[in-house]
Structure 1
Amino acid sequence: MTATEADHGRIDPTMIRQILGDSLGYLYPAALRVAARFAVADHLDEPRSAAELAARTGVNAGRLGRALRLLSTRGVFAEDDAGRFRLTPAARLLRTDAPVPLRSIVLLFTDEVYWRPAGRLDDTVRQGRTAFSDVFGLPFFDHLPTAPETEQLFADALATISELEQEAVVAAYDFPATGTVVDVAGGRGGLLRTVLTANPGLRGVLLDRAPVLERHLLDVPALTGRWRTEAGDLFHAVPPAGNVYLLKRILHDKSDEESAAVLASCRKAMANDARLLVVDAVVPSTPGAHPAVVSDVLMMALWDGRERTAEEFAALLAGEGFHLGRIIPTASALSVVEAVPV
């Protein structure tokens, strides 16, 4: 018996199953996309068979049932002995009327703009750059305008993600009583709306691309007269004279060079007593499971960005005229990295 054969005899079979199971792990998000795309959860006001669900959603009954059976092994839906499926607490989050509907996020995370570059991660690692342009012909943010449905899905999903995080961010940071908050590339303005609602003495400016601003969330009675939108490019100029500048989930999808350009644009607009809040995940200094570890791989798969450590943030900020003041954890996966002009 060779050493390799002897070692094989001592391998824990559960480890073999784990590795082989993980190598087929992509089938779970594929099945999750089926449930989200066809809004299966919306049709489960009571337990229903795959045939009943297929009739309501216009898909093949046998194949739908097999996808739902896989999801049921992970607690998304539950299958009874009669072959009927019912909602679980996890599946309820896929309903369009859920308090925090995750359907748009699932559809984005399993869309081809995320899926296909992730499948080329080996090329990304070999080349030292994202394979996104190899797949779609353009970088991510140049590709989006060529695919309007995906662009809207991206905006909707990011707005929902912001809903999950913005209360925790605002609660963690002590905003000034008065002044102007500039939300740079702030999407539809969910974070800015939460900041202004919690701090009635503040005014706000939302900067983003014109198509995104058309669907902003700021026009609510409590904020009347306290906000404006401005279409623009964060790489070239941001609104001047703000007291607090927000960069939420902006730097993490950008290379150090791109991030430096954004920071330089902000620094040019800021007075010396203003503050810049970089709201991103911060990679822990010790190894282990953390949401930033997963997100970091996504950043290199789709973009040439990265999640950064405290030390990496400090170096990046210092290069563009900022000092890292403090890092404030929040109840979400994000932290508030406060930067002070120098």
Structure 2
Amino acid sequence: MILSDSKPSKIQSLLTPIQWVHAYWVSRCIYVIAKLGIADLLKDGSQHCDALAAATNTHSDSLYRVLRSLAGLGIFAEIQPRCFELTPLADCLQSNVPGSIRDMAIFRGEEHYYKSWGDLMYSLQTGKSAFEYLYNMDLFEYNEQNPLQGEIFDRAMTSSKDEYTEFLKAYDFSSIGTLVDVGGGKGSFLSAVLEANPTMTGILFDQPEVIDRAKNSHQFLNNRCQLVGGSFFEGIPEGGDAYVLKHIIQDWDDRRSCAILRNCYQAMGKYARLLVIDFVLPPANEPSESKFIDVNMLVMCPGGCIRTEAEFRELFKSVGFKLNKVIPTQSEVSILEGVKITS
């Protein structure tokens, strides 16, 4: 079937064709400004570019040219010659504020990430991850071997805390006795769920080196959470009433996704629930960030992809789960609830 829709998408309506071509200039400028912490330096008021350059060990004239360019987009404002202040668009580049994107901007702009996207053509020609081609390992192995990048990854993955409120609104976690967060990183999501449900206990499960970082994060409540290290390709802790996989399945091809889901199935009791929190691709020409996240998975992950509801349903069925319901949230992410198929 040929799909046609003459209506411009939301994304198309925001940018002119030449701006499509130049878009990466903007993202690189945002990356360096986020990396330098410029927005944090301006949180108490405007500063002259010379002072900002001195604080960040940068060249004042060059920093000015970058800030002037961003100010032209409403990101910062030049209120006097060479003197800048925050704007509502720049607020999110601060650290530790609601809606902050600083950690994500840094993560997306780091050399290994940027170079991989620079080799997008390789992925198009081969169907394989450009990241693996460049670094001869997957992103998770890279983070393990480069602890600083692992920390940057952890911070970026926990920077979307506003999403957690939407998940808690969309799904009733109150009936869950023990929640197992599979691949839960440093536990920020699990911590949010535990805080909202005082009688719940949790099990945080991730790679041993990630769990080691989680032990120092001080995010867990009154010893209500066990921290367990291991590989979800080898086995998953038993004893949970629900098992959550947040942005995990998107990282892997069907074979490895099935391996993770199968290990969940084996760990789960008869009445336990599976909760996959992930993007679900919308149809046809509907604009969606998830479609670009899908390309990102192509570039960065070993067979990773964003799936349609039908593809999730088939994936669940292949390992013995029924896709019980798909629960939308106010974000583009949905909660897919699975239960064991019973004869």
Length-normalised TM-score, structure 1: 0.90
Q: How much does 1:219 deviate? A: 4.9
Aligned match of 2:90: 91
Counterpart Cα distance in 2 of 1:220 and 1:63: 40
Aligned match of 1:64: 63
CA 1:225–1:62: 2 relative to 1, 3 Å: closer
Residues 299 and 306, structure 1, Cα contact 8 Å, conserved in 2: yes
Counterpart Cα distance in 2 of 1:101 and 1:252: 23
Counterpart Cα distance in 2 of 1:155 and 1:43: 23
Counterpart Cα distance in 2 of 1:120 and 1:148: 24
After TM superposition, the structure 1 = structure 2 runs for residues 176-187 of structure 1, keeping only pairs within 5 Å, are 176-187=174-185
Deviations 1:292-326 (A, max 9, x none): 11211111110121111100100111111111100
Residues 323 and 337, structure 2, Cα contact 8 Å, conserved in 1: yes
Residues 166 and 190, structure 1, Cα contact 8 Å, conserved in 2: no
Aligned match of 2:35: 37
Stretches (4+) displaced over 4 A: 217-221
Residues 177 and 201, structure 1, Cα contact 8 Å, conserved in 2: no
Indicate whether 1:199 and 2:221 are aligned.
no
Q: How much does 1:117 deviate? A: 1.0
Aligned match of 2:210: 212
Residues 129 and 298, structure 2, Cα contact 8 Å, conserved in 1: yes
Residues 234 and 265, structure 1, Cα contact 8 Å, conserved in 2: yes
Q: How much does 1:277 deviate? A: 0.3
Indicate whether 1:276 and 2:274 are aligned.
yes
Q: How much does 1:122 deviate? A: 1.3
What SS class does the counterpart of residue 336 from structure 1 fall into? strand
Instruction: Select the residue among 167, 170, 175 that pairs with 1:172.
Output: 170
Aligned match of 1:105: 104
Deviations 1:146-185 (A, max 9, x none): 2111111101111112x12112112211225352111101
AA at the equivalent of 1:235? F
CA 1:84–1:220: 2 relative to 1, 3 Å: closer
Counterpart Cα distance in 2 of 1:60 and 1:189: 39
Indicate whether 1:299 and 2:297 are aligned.
yes
Counterpart Cα distance in 2 of 1:174 and 1:30: 40
Counterpart Cα distance in 2 of 1:53 and 1:213: 37
Aligned match of 1:129: 128
Counterpart Cα distance in 2 of 1:121 and 1:220: 37
Counterpart Cα distance in 1 of 2:283 and 2:21: 28
Indicate whether 1:142 and 2:148 are aligned.
no
Aligned match of 1:237: 235
Aligned match of 2:119: 120
Counterpart Cα distance in 1 of 2:25 and 2:115: 14
AA at the equivalent of 2:243? Y
What SS class does the counterpart of residue 287 from structure 2 fall into? coil
User: Identity over aligned residues, as a percent?
Assistant: 33
Residues 177 and 200, structure 2, Cα contact 8 Å, conserved in 1: yes
Counterpart Cα distance in 2 of 1:186 and 1:220: 13
Aligned match of 1:325: 324
AA at the equivalent of 1:309? T
Counterpart Cα distance in 1 of 2:306 and 2:88: 31
Aligned match of 1:3: none
After TM superposition, the structure 1 = structure 2 runs for residues 245-256 of structure 1, keeping only pairs within 5 Å, are 245-256=243-254
Q: How much does 1:101 deviate? A: 3.5
CA 1:169–1:315: 2 relative to 1, 3 Å: same
Residues 132 and 300, structure 2, Cα contact 8 Å, conserved in 1: no
CA 1:178–1:104: 2 relative to 1, 3 Å: closer
What SS class does the counterpart of residue 317 from structure 1 fall into? helix
Counterpart Cα distance in 2 of 1:20 and 1:177: 52
What SS class does the counterpart of residue 29 from structure 1 fall into? helix
What SS class does the counterpart of residue 27 from structure 2 fall into? helix
Q: How much does 1:90 deviate? A: 2.0
Bigger Cα Rg: 1
CA 1:124–1:48: 2 relative to 1, 3 Å: same
Q: How much does 1:228 deviate? A: 0.7
Q: How much does 1:32 deviate? A: 0.6
Counterpart Cα distance in 1 of 2:58 and 2:268: 55
Counterpart Cα distance in 1 of 2:182 and 2:83: 48
Structure 1: tracts of 5 or more residues without a match: 1-13
Q: How much does 1:81 deviate? A: 5.4
AA at the equivalent of 1:138? M
